[in-house]
Amino acid sequence: MSDPEQKNTVFELVRWVLYLPVAFFASLIPAAIGFFIAGKTGLSEWSGFLIFGLFFAPSFLLVALYMAPRLNPFTKWSIVVSLFLFGFVHFLAGYISKIKGFDDSIIVLGYTGVAPFIISVIIAFIPLQKWMILKKVN
């Protein structure tokens, strides 16, 4: 194997390993900005968490598509499952907090998971060929 081919293979392997973690951490930036703007405009706490999720989910999708070396069924379903789990875990945490009688500020954390949960279900039904449009945008 020649040297440029070996570098490309290593670079592709690194992208496969890091595309979901990078997407997660990169998505926190626009989500935090959305949460901050919601707080500064005087919106209620639950709407701030909902906006956090609304900003997080699309940015996670776009960053993951950009970072993934190729778009294939594995890429699609790993993104869908990651968003689904993020949304479900946050929603479940808010629900359990309500059952256990925690403070309302912890309960509203469940609203963070609503948007990623819904968006993951929606994008699961989009055929892989349509995802190519999003990949080309990047």
Q: What is the pTM of this model?
A: 0.83
Are 52 and 28 in contact by the 8 Å Cβ rule? The answer is no
Query: pLDDT tens digits, residue range 69-120?
Result: 888 899 999 999 999 999 888 888 877 877 777 776 667 777 788 889 899 9
**How many Å apart are CA 50 and CA 32, to the nearest integer?**
11
Dihedral of CA atoms 112, 38, 106, 56 in degrees, nearest 10, equals 20
